[in-house]
Amino acid sequence: MPDERGLVLVVEDDAAIADLVSRYLRRDGYGVHVATDGEAALAAVRRLRPVAVVLDVGLPKLDGIEVCRAMRSSDDWTPVLFVTARDDEVDRVLGLELGADDYVTKPFSPRELVARIRSVRRRATGTPATEILELAGTRLDLTQRRAWTDGVEVSLTSTEFDLLTALMRRPRQVFERAQLLSMVWGYEAASGTRTVDVHIAQLRAKLGPTSPIRTVRGVGYSADNP
């Protein structure tokens, strides 16, 4: 049964890794259910409604990327943290069509994985302020965590929403990638900043030509009017 923090679905066909991750999650107060292939993962997502999914990319029957794509296409925005064996898969697992929230590469520290689960959970369930942010053609409702571009609502992951909020709260302020990594993900700069670039690309694709996000070459990003 789920513990007080909720149930995490661990999708991993390596029994030793699944057991290690499960023990650390339970130690942190989460309930855990393990699925060993992609088809079982989708069935568990629908049946158990987990608070987060730890999803291996390389799975039998249906790989992790297809599992995430199926979730998002059915409008299921449960936070997903990918586990990938190759660093060159990072752009794919955080790709524009998937909407993953974060990733770790093997070998990984189970403590770091649990910390990242906490982080995506905070972003998904944090107490919102009653506030509306508007800039260029983009509007954010921080109470309901909803976003619109040119009057059309767009679906954002919790990570995308918080990244856009961080930029729009301080328009025209330039943030380095390491600053955004710390503000949104809660990581140290040493953890790497490519995930920021990938999520910025996701946001720009979803927001379209009136996106308020600007690149400041050699520095980072800001939000401003076109």
Write down all domains in the chain, each with its CATH number in brackets. Answer: 7-125 (3.40.50.2300), 132-223 (1.10.10.10)
Could you tell me which of 188, 223, 190, 220 has the C-alpha nearest to residue 207?
223
Q: What mean pLDDT do residues 40-68 have?
A: 91
State the pLDDT confidence band at 189, using cuts at 50, 70 and 90. very low
State the pLDDT confidence band at 187, using cuts at 50, 70 and 90. low
> What's the pTM value of the predicted model, to 2 decimals?
0.62
In this prediction, residue 67 carries a pLDDT of 92
pLDDT at 23 over 90: yes
Q: What mean pLDDT do residues 200-226 have?
A: 90
Among 41-45, 103-107, 130-134, 189-193, where is mean pLDDT lowest? 189-193
Q: What mean pLDDT do residues 105-115 have?
A: 86
